[in-house]
Amino acid sequence: MLAKRMILCLDVKDGRTVKGTNFGNLKDAGDIVELAKRYSDEGADELVFLDITASHERRKTMLTWVEQVAEAVNIPFTVGGGISSDLDVSNLLSKGADKVSINTAALIKPALIDTLALCFGRQCIVVAIDARKEDGNWNVYINGGRKKTSYELFSWAKEAESRGAGEILFTSMDHDGTNQGFACEAVARLSEELTIPVIASGGAGKMEDFYDAFTLGKADAALAAGVFHYGKLAIPDVKRYLDSREIEIRI
């Protein structure tokens, strides 16, 4: 069995790490590079760096930020934000990224997934999906949660997989920043319907939430941000807890 992964997320705006609730009310959480190095040193399995306003502002991810973070860490590093072409991906990989996360551009032009998977290998392509449950349906949003689409979570995830996505990063907009736990029911359905890894995101507040993501949600990885940014939890403590509950995790 592959070890479960704990992934730390850096949401970046104007050169600073930020964290909000339900994709709004953003608050400063610290320096990008300092946090990245800290999490790498503390035992995070991976980092995800999301330039959260790049698509909305119709610009590319700032390469200097990516390069600085890549130099500070020694764990796999995924970058997302404003990626819309194979050149964008090539530039990010050249600056030290190991994988890329695509969201808005993939929904606008789904064939982008095919192109990137062919050029760089599906192991390099993470498709991020931001969704909110409304009237019983999980509706997909783009532009950092600002714009609702006609897509539905599960059908879009399956299409993304069929086009070459190597992983799905699902963030529940309803759970984001609430510290009330992950959307385990939806994560479990994704895990059951897909053959590629599913990363659960949105809602981590206590150690038990990670356990639930891996057991109830059947997730391959759990992503968190604010609960670690503000010192509520520490990575080594969560990993020891999971190990004590017989979750296969790298200590």
d(CA 5, CA 114): 26
Q: Is 98 an active-site residue?
A: no
Cα separation, 47 vs 222, whole angstroms: 11
Q: Which of 11, 45, 174, 176 is catalytic?
A: 11
Bridge pairing between strands 24-31 and 16-21 = antiparallel
Q: Which of 51, 88, 130, 209 is catalytic?
A: 130
**Token pair 């970046």 in the structure block, residue:** 12
- Say whether 243 is catalytic: no
Q: How far apart are CA 88 and CA 97, in angstroms?
A: 11
- Catalytic site positions: 11, 130
